[in-house]
Amino acid sequence: MPAPSTPLLEAALPSPARPEAGKSLVTRRAIRQVVRAAVSSSYGVTGLSDDGVRQGLLARFGVRPPGVLVRFGGGIEVELRILVAAGVPIAEVARQVDSAVRYSVRRATEREIERVTIYVGGLRFEAAPMPGPLPAAAELDGADPAADPGVAVEPIPGSDGT
């Protein structure tokens, strides 16, 4: 005996007579997040710097992240304050950041950036451990040659010393 069929629950959704063009809204916060991701993945950038006492306080309270300012005028304008690793060409880092920011925003919003302004807020030096003290010259002269791995104990066969 077949099981009783359950009634299908279908509802006809109203559809517009003609398709309407939609709008998308992109906030400054969304663009700042896209820009921060692009900057943080760029070669030579070690971080974003605060741009003044007032902006630093706003960043600490979470109102605005440090180093990124987005303006909407005639187009999208982005202002960045970055920290660069010491020993890296600053001009190359700036070109890389500019390219990454423009590409990321274009891909996310399908709009071009009118202007990207990049300020280098400083250089960041990576802390390296301090080297140990060097041995004194007198210690090296009186040392046993066999104990010093940098001195050959036996002459190499076939060299001038044999």
Please list the alpha-helical segments (H only) found in the chain: 28-40, 53-60, 90-109, 137-141
> Which residue do the tokens 């969304």 mark?
30
Residue 97 to residues 39, 41, 93, 138: CA-CA distances in angstroms?
Answer: 6, 9, 6, 53
The predicted structure's pLDDT at residue 132? 62
Highest mean pLDDT among 53-62, 135-144, 149-158: 53-62
84-109 per-position pLDDT tens digit:
998 899 999 999 999 999 999 999 98
Q: What kind of fold does domain 33-124 have according to CATH?
A: Alpha-Beta Plaits (3.30.70)
Highest mean pLDDT among 52-66, 74-88, 91-105, 123-137: 91-105
Give me the residue spans of the domains in the chain: 33-124
**Stretch 6-20: mean pLDDT, rounded?**
55
**Stretch 3-13: mean pLDDT, rounded?**
53
Q: Residue 123: which pLDDT band, with cuts at 50, 70 and 90? A: confident
* Residue 62 pLDDT > 80: no
Is 36 strand, coil or helix?
helix
Type of residue at 78: V
Task: Please give the Cα distance from 119 to 79 (Å, whole number).
Answer: 8
Task: Please give the Cα distance from 35 to 30 (Å, whole number).
Answer: 9
Residue 82 CB coordination number (10 Å): 25
